[in-house]
């Protein structure tokens, strides 16, 4: 008896296979399901009373894809490539069994079909899809460092052509049902569930061809195949160039997809499936897929489910939120909060400034309306929830207040006292500071156990991460409210302990500083910026410093020197910041000039004067050496954060680094990079860097003494 598939045989001889995996909100390809599907195929094939079968779902979606947790389990078993080949081959063989069992199969796709779910539908001889506005169809495996490994790279091109199918797999594009029919991925569009099932059954009864088109004599790939075919040669030429540009060869999956399609479509389907399986095995055995699946899906998923939340505190919901400061950060926080349904009081020194903050939301909402992503009425409702204010009395009744004022202790202390004078005793107060320790800021509070850090990233509406920082006195209720609020606004939280710069700002600053260290050493600015992008960083260190502004770095540096006094240890990057701020008055993009020039009607470019200020040395380092310095310095600082207890969980460090400042996803995060390189090798290479470039590259004792457990 099947626990995942309901088998029903109608009087007309059509078997309905309804997939419904217990205890799962969406169907995924579990081992139990695959075993049940295998038995169901045998049952259909062996029963003369069965004319064919319709595969559908008992849930609102069809199949969401593979169970990524099972793949993580494969990593943990340390299987060799031969064992991984056998493991992965089960899926491909089972789908081929559907195709060649001698009975026609139709897929009645009632909702989302992704990855292995779409591959199952492609293995059926006919596909009918429900016109479900919430459904998406696609092959997103590339986003986890893999390729469609159960026939996707072979069946999709044979169905709709190479030129049309490659972008879908290389970009992991999600299609709406109507578009899937237009492209030919699905054969018919159904209006409702009854229509879906009727069309599927009718095809079995009226046509019921049990032979796939690519198994028929004389089949040719639509549009042609092979590197010399005039219809696809340009697709491969342009595709290879685009893949190289986008991946910088850090991500093997897109390259493997190109190779699978190129090689496999020139051969019969069975040989093509073997080629696909060989490439899939190499990807699954490699570090990039492991890193991306673990960090971006398993660890991120756990963070989204608030795995660090105190268990004994009842779930909370922020109904009214106060925001102090209507600048860029405050305005962004107001937008995402109002968008999630909260009443927001946006307070600033003048009503004009507060109104400007609200206008930021108006601009974002108008763009959504223009793009058809919401109605004017919906946009107006969001905007109505934001109340500009100057009087602290307006904060009465707020469940949570977030200050986003200047990085100045006196100002923050002043707004803390004024706020606590009017908000309820049970309210939580949070600071959006990016560098100042929470414990010190909480000294201005009369209820430090209800004081916490909630650090957003700019621009708030686009950046997915929120760093929640615990001061020494922060209580469990404050943690629970902060995490519940982050989930309410649909962002991913990480939990870190108090420290100067916390985790994200502290580690990110090493990247920016290393760029300036390289500049001060005489490394060419273009080499610094290009090597960073080739390593997978979204923006070079000099460009991103201009974005956050040299002016801000200067103020943070001066505040830190004041706080630490004689304990402050200056570095070469400090002098670069001082020189640009005081002598050159090039304070960053917002001020019109920094490491880059910002012409009004053109693209930014590196300031030519850099060559005069920092003359390049004759012997320039290699791209690989610059890449290594920029990545390793961040990984080392993360290790120090672990050693000092700033970060308790490696998963928070990895998720935070990728979502917070764009550390290359192929690495799995700053700590996963160390494991990818190998602990012993990483320590050895850091010691070599330390001997050449200084103690900032010296591995901490925590790193030297730890074993690779992740």
Q: Which residues contact 315 (CB under 8 A, 6 or more apart)?
A: 480, 484
Token reading at 434: 């990016």
Query: Residue 356 and residue 331: Cα distance in Å, rounded?
Result: 8
Phi, psi of 10 (to 5 degrees): -85, 165
**316, β-bridge pairs:** none
Q: How deeply is 534 buried, as exposed, middle or buried, from its count of CB atoms within 10 A (0-12, 13-18, 19+)?
A: middle
**What CATH number does residue 354 fall under?**
3.40.50.720
299 in a structural domain: no
Phi, psi of 296 (to 5 degrees): -80, -15
- Give 100-138 as a 3 state SS string: HCCCCEEEEECCCEECHHHHHHHHCCEEEEECCCCCCEE
Alpha carbon 385 to chain centroid distance?
Answer: 29
Q: Is-contact 546 525, C-beta < 8 A?
A: no
Give the pLDDT confidence score for residue 1 in this predicted structure: 53
**429, β-bridge pairs:** 401, 451
Token reading at 14: 């059509």
Q: Is-contact 352 330, C-beta < 8 A?
A: no
Q: Are residues 447 and 576 in the same domain?
A: no
Query: Residue 68 and residue 30: Cα distance in Å, rounded?
Result: 10
Q: Which residues contact 106 (CB under 8 A, 6 or more apart)?
A: 52, 53, 54, 55, 124, 125, 126, 127, 128, 200, 201, 203, 204
Q: Pick from 472, 500, 528: which residue ends a domain?
A: 500
Query: Would residue 455 show up in a list of annotated catalytic residues for this protein?
Result: yes
Query: Residue 430 and residue 427: Cα distance in Å, rounded?
Result: 10
Query: Residue 252 and residue 458: Cα distance in Å, rounded?
Result: 30
Name which of 349, 330, 338 is nearest 404 in CA terms.
Answer: 330
Give the pLDDT confidence score for residue 709 in this predicted structure: 44
Q: Are residues 510 and 479 in the same domain?
A: no
**What CATH number does residue 565 fall under?**
1.10.1040.50
Q: Pick from 441, 466, 500: which residue ends a domain?
A: 500
Q: Are residues 568 and 601 in the same domain?
A: yes
Q: Are residues 478 and 522 in the same domain?
A: no
End-to-end CA distance of the chain: 38
Q: Are residues 491 and 521 in the same domain?
A: no
Token reading at 292: 């991306």
Give the pLDDT confidence score for residue 710 in this predicted structure: 43
Domain count, the chain: 3
Query: Residue 164 and residue 223: Cα distance in Å, rounded?
Result: 9
Q: Are residues 232 and 130 in the same domain?
A: yes
Give the pLDDT confidence score for residue 559 in this predicted structure: 81
Q: Are residues 435 and 551 in the same domain?
A: no
Query: Residue 554 and residue 560: Cα distance in Å, rounded?
Result: 10
Q: pLDDT tens for residues 389-434?
A: 999 999 999 999 999 998 888 999 999 999 999 999 999 999 998 8
55 in a structural domain: yes
3-state secondary structure of 60: coil
Q: Are residues 346 and 476 in the same domain?
A: yes
Q: Are residues 479 and 513 in the same domain?
A: no
- Angle, helices 670-677/679-693, rounded to nearest 10 degrees: 100
Task: Label residues 381-390 b or e (16+ Cβ within 10 Å = b).
Answer: ebbebbbbbe
34 in a structural domain: yes
Q: Is-contact 106 14, C-beta < 8 A?
A: no
Query: Residue 185 and residue 241: Cα distance in Å, rounded?
Result: 26
Give the pLDDT confidence score for residue 708 in this predicted structure: 44
670 in a structural domain: no
408 in a structural domain: yes
Relative to beta strand 465-470, strand 451-455 is: antiparallel
Q: Are residues 250 and 356 in the same domain?
A: no
Query: Residue 605 and residue 217: Cα distance in Å, rounded?
Result: 58
Q: Pick from 500, 526, 555: which residue ends a domain?
A: 500
Low-confidence ranges of the chain (pLDDT < 50): 707-710
Q: Which residues contact 510 (CB under 8 A, 6 or more apart)?
A: 633, 634, 636, 637, 696
3-state secondary structure of 653: helix
Q: Is-contact 442 448, C-beta < 8 A?
A: yes
Query: Residue 591 and residue 81: Cα distance in Å, rounded?
Result: 54
> Rounded to the nearest 10 degrees, how much is the dihedral formed by the CA atoms of 242, 248, 253, 258?
30
Q: pLDDT tens for residues 610-645?
A: 999 999 999 999 999 999 999 999 999 999 999 999
Phi, psi of 226 (to 5 degrees): 95, 145
Q: Is-contact 156 113, C-beta < 8 A?
A: no
Q: Are residues 458 and 551 in the same domain?
A: no
Query: Residue 441 and residue 623: Cα distance in Å, rounded?
Result: 42
Catalytic residue among 82, 174, 229, 455: 455
461 in a structural domain: yes
Give the pLDDT confidence score for residue 610 in this predicted structure: 95
pTM listed for this prediction: 0.89
Give the pLDDT confidence score for residue 225 in this predicted structure: 82
Q: Is-contact 163 221, C-beta < 8 A?
A: no
311 in a structural domain: no
Give the pLDDT confidence score for residue 237 in this predicted structure: 79
Provide the domain limits for residue 478: 320-500
Q: Are residues 248 and 385 in the same domain?
A: no
32 in a structural domain: yes
Q: Which residue has the tokens 């457990």?
A: 709
Token reading at 258: 């190109």
CB atoms within 10 A of CB 402: 28
DSSP symbols for 225-240: -STT-TTTHHHHHHHH
């Amino acid at each position: 008896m099947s626990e995942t598939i309901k088998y029903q045989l109608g009087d007309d001889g059509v078997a309905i296979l309804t997939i419904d995996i217990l205890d799962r909100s969406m169907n995924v390809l579990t081992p139990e399901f695959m075993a049940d599907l295998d038995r169901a195929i045998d049952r259909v094939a062996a029963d003369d009373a069965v004319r064919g079968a319709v595969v559908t779902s008992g849930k609102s979606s069809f199949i969401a894809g593979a169970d990524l947790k099972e793949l993580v389990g494969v990593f943990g078993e340390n299987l060799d490539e031969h064992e991984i080949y056998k493991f992965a081959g089960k899926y491909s063989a089972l789908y081929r069994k559907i195709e060649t069992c001698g009975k026609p199969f139709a897929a009645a796709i009632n909702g989302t079909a992704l990855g292995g779910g779409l591959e199952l539908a492609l293995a059926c001889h006919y596909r009918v899809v429900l016109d479900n506005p919430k459904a998406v169809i696609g092959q997103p495996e590339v986003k986890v460092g893999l390729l469609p490994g159960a026939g996707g790279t072979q069946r999709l091109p044979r169905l709709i052509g190479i030129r049309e199918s490659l972008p879908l797999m290389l970009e992991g594009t999600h299609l709406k049902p109507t578009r899937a029919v237009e492209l030919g991925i699905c054969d018919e569009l159904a209006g409702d569930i009854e229509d879906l099932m009727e069309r599927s059954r009718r095809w079995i009864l009226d046509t019921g061809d049990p032979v796939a088109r690519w198994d028929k004599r004389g089949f040719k790939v639509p549009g042609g195949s092979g590197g010399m075919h005039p219809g696809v040669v340009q697709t491969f030429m342009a595709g290879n160039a685009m893949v190289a540009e986008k991946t910088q060869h850090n991500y093997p999956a897109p390259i493997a997809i190109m190779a699978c399609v190129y090689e496999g479509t020139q051969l019969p389907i069975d040989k093509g499936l073997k080629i696909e399986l060989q490439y899939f095995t190499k990807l699954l055995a490699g570090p990039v897929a492991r890193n991306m699946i673990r960090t971006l899906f398993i660890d991120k998923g756990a963070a989204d489910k608030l795995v660090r939340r105190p268990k004994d505190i009842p779930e909370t919901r922020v109904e009214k939120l106060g925001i102090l400061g209507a600048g860029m950060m405050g305005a962004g926080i107001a937008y995402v909060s109002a968008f999630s349904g909260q009443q927001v009081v946006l307070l600033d020194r003048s009503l004009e400034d507060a109104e400007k903050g609200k206008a930021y939301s108006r601009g974002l909402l108008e763009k959504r309306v223009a793009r058809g992503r919401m109605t004017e009425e919906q946009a107006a409702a969001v905007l109505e929830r934001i109340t500009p204010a100057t009087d602290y009395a307006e904060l009465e009744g707020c469940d949570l207040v977030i200050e986003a004022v200047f990085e100045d202790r006196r100002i923050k202390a002043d707004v803390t006292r004024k706020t606590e004078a009017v908000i309820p005793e049970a309210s939580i107060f949070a600071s959006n500071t990016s560098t100042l320790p929470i414990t010190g800021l909480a000294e201005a509070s009369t209820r430090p156990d209800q004081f916490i850090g909630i650090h957003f990233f700019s621009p708030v509406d686009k950046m997915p991460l929120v760093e929640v920082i615990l001061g020494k006195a922060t209580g469990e209720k404050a943690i629970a409210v902060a995490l519940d609020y982050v989930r309410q606004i649909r962002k991913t939280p990480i939990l870190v302990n108090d420290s100067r710069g916390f985790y994200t700002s502290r580690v990110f600053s090493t990247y920016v500083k290393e760029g300036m260290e390289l500049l001060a050493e005489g490394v060419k600015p273009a080499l610094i910026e290009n090597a960073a992008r080739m390593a997978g960083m979204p923006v070079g260190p000099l460009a991103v410093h201009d974005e956050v502004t040299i002016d801000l770095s200067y103020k943070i540096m001066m505040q830190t020197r004041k706080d630490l006094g004689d304990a402050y240890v200056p570095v070469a990057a400090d002098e670069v910041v001082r020189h640009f701020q005081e002598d050159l008055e090039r304070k960053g993009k917002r001020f019109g000039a920094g490491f880059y020039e910002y012409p009004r009607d053109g693209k930014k470019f590196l300031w030519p004067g850099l060559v005069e200020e920092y003359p390049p040395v004759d012997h320039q380092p290699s791209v690989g050496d610059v890449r290594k310095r920029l990545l390793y310095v961040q990984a080392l600082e993360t290790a120090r954060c672990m050693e000092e207890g700033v970060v308790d969980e490696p998963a928070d460090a990895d998720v935070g680094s990728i979502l917070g400042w764009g550390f290359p996803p192929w690495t799995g995060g700053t700590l996963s990079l160390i494991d990818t390189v190998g602990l012993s090798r990483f320590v050895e290479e850091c010691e070599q860097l330390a001997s050449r470039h200084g103690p900032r590259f010296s591995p901490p004792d925590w790193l030297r003494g730890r074993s690779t457990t992740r």
